Chain A
Amino acid sequence: MAENTTCCACSDGLTEQEMLLQLDELIGEYLDKPGGLIPALQIAQGRFGHLPESVLKKISADFGKPYSEVAGVVSFYSFFSTVPRGKYVVRTCLGTACYVRGGKEVLSALKKQLGIDVGETTDDRLFSLDVGRCFGACGLAPVIMVNDDVHQRVKPSKIGELLKAYAATEEGVAQ
């Protein structure tokens, strides 16, 4: 459980075929656990970045649950995504403390900078934009999370720099 389940680490360009092959190994231990479905979904998403239909169908077959039930669970929780997400998921906190300390302005700066709306992903699949409800860093509001990194006292005017640092890491990797 301690492994990375929240970060939408990329699927490394895995085909759905390859995902299905890896799936057994990933979720095997949860098949017999009571209530194992959600941890299995979390692990699968953590590995693949999102949960395509074929993966959900295989999970439902493995757990012996109707597909409708699995899809119902997936659609209920906001952390699950059935479409590919960006390598970096940027979540703006709009909890109370961040809201009263200017979270809204941070969000609009992010939208402008990334050119996408909440729930969307940039064309280069680098960034997705989401809204969060309190990351527990209220003392340092406003905050945003980029995957698992918390950035504190974010100023709308500094958003560009912040994102550039992540994009630069990416270019470094590519080279």
Chain B
Amino acid sequence: MIAPITTIIASVKELRKFSQEHAAPAGVKQILICAGGGCLASGSDQVIDALRDEVLKQKLSGAVNVTAVGCMGLCVEGPVMLVVDDMTFYQRVKPADAAEIITEHVVGGKIIERLVARDAQGEKAVACIDEIDFFKKQTKIVLRNCGRIDPECINDALNAGVYQALGNVLDGMTPDDVIDEMKESGLRGRGGAGFPTWMKWNFTRQTPADQRYMLCNADEGDPGAYMDRSVLEGDPHTLIEGMVIGAYAIGASQGYVYVRAEYPLAVARLQKAIDDAHAHGLLGDHILGSDFSFNLEIRMGSGAFVCGEETALMASIEGKRGEPRPRPPFPAQKGLWGKPTVLNNVETFANVPAIIGKGAAWYASFGTEKSKGTKVFALAGAVRNTGLVEVPVGTPLGELIYDIGGGIVDNKPFKAAQLGGPSGGCVPKQHLNVPLDYESLSELGAIMGSGGLIVMDDDACMVDVARFFIEFVQEESCGKCVPCRVGTKRMLEILTRICDGQGRMEDIDRLIELGEFIKQGSLCGLGQTAPNPVLSTIRHFREEYVEHIRDHHCRAGVCASLVRAPCQSACPAGVDIPGFVSLVGEKRYNEALMLHRNRNPFASVCARVCFHTCEEKCRRSTLDDAVSIRGVKRFMVEQEKEMQLPEVRENADNAQKKIAIIGSGPAGISCAFFLARLGYKPVVFEKEARPGGMLVQAIPAYRLPRETLAREIRMVESLGVKIETNKALGREFTLQSLKDDGYDAIFVAIGAPDGVRVDLPGCDADGVADAMAFLREYNIRGSVPVGNEVVVIGGGNAAIDAARTAVRLGADSVTVLYRRTREEMPAYAEEIEEALQEGVRIESLTAPEGIVEANGKVAGVKCRKMHLGEFDRSGRRRPEADEEDCFVVDADQVIMAVGQTIDGSVFGGAFGLDRRGWIKADPVTGQTSLEGVFAGGDSVTGPMSVVHAIGDGERAAVAIDQFLSGEKHPFWRVEQANTTDYDPDEDPVPYPRETLRMMPVDKRRSNFDEVEQAWNESEAVRQARRCLRCDYGKCAVCEEEVSNA
């Protein structure tokens, strides 16, 4: 240990000598362990004690030094520590690990693998801090000492070079020199507004006065930002140094740091630093023996967000209510107690010594044309590596989130990033490429702000987020300006109304109008920016507002009044999931099935092929894993011995009406099913020889046995639906001929049955097939030519289905080429996994360039390797071609599966298609531009899932009924009381999630038998009981039942 010096450092010379004299003695092993706010909350104080005890126990005092340091940044993995010798970074360290760390590593030199980070693939251990993705892509200027020095030890700070810049300043720089240096550096205020620091200083310096003040804004109130806290707690001397330099430049003799009350640790450490600096002559009278004197005090906030605004902050220091006042006069003219005052943010000050120390030119080499240096961001929310990161200004948002932040938790899709807290806005996935600088962000309606960056995935409701921020500013509005006080209240009322499902369509424009008024009519930054989160979410996510208002639907499953249970809300068909799952839990299988069938004619089909959006929203996943809803359903449908028919309301009037449904896929059959239940007798026309649409044409039998599908179609037929096969639109009949035949209403659900053809050189060669045609030919006609070496181009479900079908038809090798990464393949993850097990090879990041022909026949595919470039509008990285040469994958058959489309000519120009070639139809009713003609399913939306099509069919049935009868009668939409037993006070059952069993690979490669096997009863019941019953108490009928019980 270095003996603490008690004498005053009397001159710049002494300061310079200091670091040489007090350099850490050689041979002492340093262990740095984070004692920042985050790691302390994770228990780092206990780890520190354990390490120190261990050092004593092993009699290593003097040889090993355990130092508690400030925030290292990677809060999520805390407690974190660094063994300085070889720069090994340990994470999630527990007190019990202390002995091993000292014995094995510090003494024995062996790195403890289980405590180090993993690489991006989660495979390789990465021990050295400089090689960890999170750290290696950062540039640390502001946080240069955070996590490297003991914040409570001034010697440590001095050794690290803190106060050397102050020495430079007092050793011959004039105040003008300092301001010039600031000017040249291009430093802009890091509190959010980005005002040039030198200009603020210069204005203040030039205002004649007997007293000037230097203030630091450490009232870090923006929720989600905590870089100031980190500097205060991790490197307080750098802040003090920055403030003394600034005070010297503007001629201030008194300063205050205004720290918020929520940061008690920051206050304590800063106070100690101030006391120590005084004791060393670095604050107070005649600093470093010069003529310059500066005193610094802490003032604590008392829980008022508005005090982060400069004039309010000054009022608060003066001991008054923290209300802002009009500007001008600006603080540079009249600030604290009427004197010229500079107020800068903590991060701004932390930059100052670095600029003086290393020079303005060095600093200006980071960043963009208009914004120099670095910015610290607090990454939080749904990102893997939450914590503090510092990057050059102008770094693209996507790089921050994916390269440094490690991407989204659980690989969910990125939805938006919220920057700048209640004053800021959000950036949606289309703009992941936006450079993080002041100008680019404000163009998108967001702001750099203080650097809080909350990452949101699909589980965030943008309307709810807007409501959250407005509630925040409404509560924190000081009340002085009426537009802010009353306007935010009105906005909150409107947003609450929308979240409760009571919104009106005109509310959206009302919010925009109110927002503009508030911006114009408020005195301070709080009011002027308060509407930003709302305006920005409306700008980028207007459709979510519309869904809340029009459909009473919250797609994120967040808004409590609109969501009975998140799973049910996420089901496009609106199936009562907690209902049927809990009935299975009580072995009431027929009731369960009837409840399911009430909203979905294809229970057995969906038990096999549904991609279960319900499970993605299952709340049980916050506890352990989602309920295996599809697995429960699979067991349930196997129990159906006698066909369970749903309620049908016969109606003589309806039975007279003629309704034609074109297409017998899930949308068409679903529409027919619901119409039949209202007493209609619709006729379904099917182009192919067998009904089922994509279910029979594209989905192979090993996923969906033919009899399963046929049985459910028979069920629908038994309700009074007639299906006519081999009748195609544009061939046997037209829209007009149907009308001529007296059909009162028509539902067009022809799907997207045709494959998109890519214009690759050589694609006319013999042996090039289209996946849709390939699958259809096999599934309908029972045979299709298949090659020995098959290459499938594409990454969707059709590609995987074609590949697995080719395996079963005897291909020697099947290779799937996909131009993006495997994680980005649109096919369902389970299908990809099974394909791999069956021997399908997947070449990701590989794009086809052309077909190699030999004698007019396919001989191979010329490919080029790709790498990921910038983020595109879909929020994914765009694949870009490598420089390297092309290579050839041998093939005698190439199956293209790059997209699906419809042949618009079958409509005979009867109605409009959108620019992507799909039918234009009302999103709620399916009404097209032709009266009485409705459309739904893939032919409107483009290829979507089975259950989406089922939902579309149901909505069309309701709309057709309304069109024909003048009223809506969807009786199946009335929620049914859940009559199963449930004790809300009981702990959830502990069983883990089980997945369905698969047929062994060797038994499935050569046939089309079903691969997935249902559970037995005891497993199914156990799994069903894992449901947390989110629907409990959410339905009026159920409430009544409960109270009557």
Contact = CB atoms under 8 A, between A and B. Distances in A.
Contacts of B1025: none
Contacts of A34: 318-319, 337
A52 interface: no
Given A102-B622, A138-B452, A140-B76, A150 B37 contact: yes
Nearest to A132: B262
Interface in B449-508: 452, 454, 456, 459-460, 465, 468-469, 472, 476, 478
Nearest to A74: B302
A1 B386 contact: no
Given A6-B261, A38-B299, A42-B302, A139 B379 contact: yes
B271 interface: yes
Interface string A75-92: 011111000000000000
A80 B38 contact: no
B220 A137 contact: no
B75 A140 contact: yes
B893 interface: no
B224 A96 contact: yes
Q: How large is the interface on A (under 10, 10 to 19, 20 to 34, 35 or more residues)?
A: 35 or more
A27 interface: no
Contacts of B41: 137, 140, 143, 150-152
B607 interface: no
B489 to A, nearest CB: 18
Contacts of A135: 37, 262-263
Given A5-B261, A95-B224, A137-B38, A78 B468 contact: no
Given A6-B264, A139-B76, A139-B380, A1 B321 contact: no
Contacts of B386: 97, 138-141
B226 A138 contact: yes
Interface string B227-248: 0011000000000000000000
Contacts of B786: none
B268 interface: yes
Nearest to A130: B303
A98 to B, nearest CB: 8
Nearest to B472: A133
Contacts, number: 167
B371 interface: no
B686 to A, nearest CB: 47
Nearest to A147: B264
A38 B297 CA distance: 14
B37 A39 contact: no
B465 A100 contact: yes
A148 interface: yes
Interface in A1-20: 1-2, 4-7
A129 interface: no
Nearest to A37: B319
B380 A39 contact: no
B272 A137 contact: no
Nearest to B271: A2
Nearest to B262: A135
Interface string B915-938: 000000000000000000000000
B641 interface: no
Residue of A36, A73, A102, A139 ringed by the most chain B CB atoms within 10 A:
A139
Given A133-B223, A138-B224, A140-B386, A96 B381 contact: yes
Contacts of B476: 133
B379 A76 contact: no
Contacts of A102: 622
Contact of B267 (A1, A134, A152): A1
Contacts of A141: 380-381, 386
A72 interface: yes
A28 B305 CA distance: 29
A151 B40 CA distance: 9
Interface string A28-54: 000000111111011000000000000
A98 B268 CA distance: 25
Interface in A152-171: 152, 157
A57 interface: no
A99 interface: yes
B317 A35 contact: yes
Given A1-B298, A132-B262, A97 B220 contact: no
A86 to B, nearest CB: 17
A135 B304 CA distance: 13
Contacts of B223: 93-99, 133-134, 138
A97 B454 contact: yes
Contact of B220 (A6, A37, A99, A136): A136
Interface in B1-54: 37-38, 40-42
Interface residues of B, number: 67
B618 interface: no
B833 to A, nearest CB: 29
Contacts of B40: 150
Contacts of B303: 77-79
B322 interface: yes
B381 A78 contact: no
Contacts of A76: 304, 321-323, 478
B302 A80 contact: yes
A153 to B, nearest CB: 8
A152 B41 CA distance: 6
A96 B418 CA distance: 9
Interface string B259-282: 001111101100110000000000
A22 to B, nearest CB: 20
A100 to B, nearest CB: 5
A5 B379 CA distance: 30
A134 B227 CA distance: 12
Specify which of A2, A73, A97, A136 lies most central, judged by the most chain B CB atoms within 10 Å of its CB: A136
Interface string B187-227: 00000000000000000000000000000000011111110
Contacts of A37: 319
B378 interface: yes
Contacts of B225: 134, 136, 138
A42 to B, nearest CB: 6
Given A134-B223, A139-B75, A77 B304 contact: yes
B731 interface: no
A172 B321 CA distance: 41
Contacts of A93: 223
Given A77-B302, A96-B454, A138-B452, A38 B381 contact: no
A97 B302 contact: no
A36 B256 CA distance: 13
Contacts of A136: 37, 220, 225-226, 229-230, 262-263
Contacts of B421: 96
A50 to B, nearest CB: 13
Nearest to B232: A136
A34 B337 CA distance: 9
A26 B88 CA distance: 48
B59 interface: no
A141 B462 CA distance: 19
Given A38-B316, A134-B221, A140-B38, A96 B271 contact: no
A80 B316 CA distance: 14
A4 B268 CA distance: 9
A138 B230 CA distance: 12
A78 B261 CA distance: 10
B235 to A, nearest CB: 15
11 contacts: A6-B261, A42-B300, A97-B380, A99-B468, A136-B230, A138-B75, A138-B224, A138-B454, A150-B37, A152-B38, A152-B42
Leading 8 A-B pairs by shortest Cβ distance: A95-B223, A139-B75, A136-B226, A77-B302, A97-B380, A138-B380, A139-B386, A37-B319
Given A134-B223, A136-B230, A139-B379, 14 more contacts: A5-B300, A76-B321, A79-B261, A96-B380, A96-B469, A100-B456, A133-B223, A134-B226, A136-B229, A137-B37, A137-B41, A138-B454, A139-B75, A139-B76
Interface of A: 1-2, 4-7, 34-39, 41-42, 72-73, 76-80, 93-102, 132-141, 143, 145, 148, 150-152, 157
